[in-house]
Amino acid sequence: MALKQHKDDRVRFDQQVDNSRSYVLPFIEATHKLGGGVNVLEIGCGEGGVLLPFAEKGCYCVGVDLNPKRIDLANDMLKDEVQQKKMEFLLKNVYDEDFLARFKDFFDVIVLKDTIEHIPDQEKFVPYLKNFLRPGGQIFFGFPPWYMPFGGHQQICEGKLVSKLPYYHILPKGLYKAILKMAGESEGVITDLMEVWDTQISIERFERIIKHSNLKVLKKQHFLINPIYKYKFGLQPRKQWGPVTYLYGLRNFLTTCVYYTVG
């Protein structure tokens, strides 16, 4: 069944803030100083909660998203920070010329948290991000690998069975879609899930894209239990067992989340 945070904007926002403060920000801070004078961009910012801890540190934060409702929520939830010009939230496509013109070579840190798996043509997208980085800038990616038990994001389904069933998202697209339709899932949910099906980002493909983009991995962490599962399922976050992280291919099935900082 769809989880509470899928329906309650405030719950989702609070979870974004807490997860960012406890996991995302400390991970990025291990390789990049954060504070006054540091510009941070989050692509796929949703309600903006991930960025709040960065703004509290003194960073200037810009969030972009293609979803108008979520950008409105971000502007509302963070209206004080927006008014004080510490943050701004834009309904924008980063490929727009005016976005590139304004923010070329502007950011020290770019954050993509649970977003890269929604973005098509990652081979083109990742190298394009370099346009926005200042010299020495870094990009953070946090995402669930496609082959992990819920890599299709099927937990957003309304139906009890289809939202709790692991691994069936790796079926052929037509069959997967037919199961979702038979289970009575809405067109909106099915469209979202097909978008994730089309991108299918594995650990190996991600690392290949980083290499081909002439970026270097500065820090990485694989998780057996995704830190965000603390809020979703009440599970304690757990790092992946070292030897599993070297099991090419197989590790995808056993790793619910990966964090990378590249630069």
Ligand X SMILES: C[S@@+](CC[C@H](N)C(=O)[O-])C[C@H]1O[C@@H](n2cnc3c(N)ncnc32)[C@H](O)[C@@H]1O
Which residue in the set 23, 39, 46, 227 belongs to the binding site for ligand X (CB under 6 A)? 46
Site string for ligand X, 112-151 (x = CB under 6 A): -xxx--xx--------------------------------
- In this structure, what token pair is assigned to residue 161? 């069975």
Cα(188)–Cα(205) distance, integer angstroms: 28
Q: Does 263 bind ligand X (CB under 6 A)?
A: no
Q: Does position 156 bind ligand X by CB under 6 A?
A: no
Give whichever of 81 and 114 is closer to ligand X, judged by the CB atom: 114
Site for ligand X in 94-113 (CB under 6 A): 113
Window 193-252: residues binding ligand X (CB under 6 A): none
Residue with smallest beta-carbon separation from ligand X:
44
Told to check if 64 binds ligand X by CB under 6 A, we report yes
For ligand X, which is the closer residue by CB, 57 or 244?
57
Query: b/e map of 163-191 (b: 16 or more CB within 10 Å)?
Result: bebeeebeeeeeebbebbeebebeeebbe
* Least Å from the CB of residue 175 to ligand X: 24
Q: Residue 65, interface with ligand X (CB under 6 A)?
A: yes
The one-letter amino acid code at 217 reads V
The distance of closest approach from Cβ of residue 226 to ligand X in the complex, given in angstroms and rounded to an integer, is 11
Whose tokens are 């070292």? That residue is 242
Q: How many residues bind ligand X (CB under 6 A)?
A: 16
Binding piece for ligand X, criterion CB under 6 A, among 60-68, 159-167, 174-182, 253-261:
60-68
Q: Which of 70, 169, 222, 251 binds ligand X (CB under 6 A)?
A: 70
Interface contacts to ligand X, rule CB under 6 A: 16, 43-46, 50, 64-67, 70, 113-115, 118-119
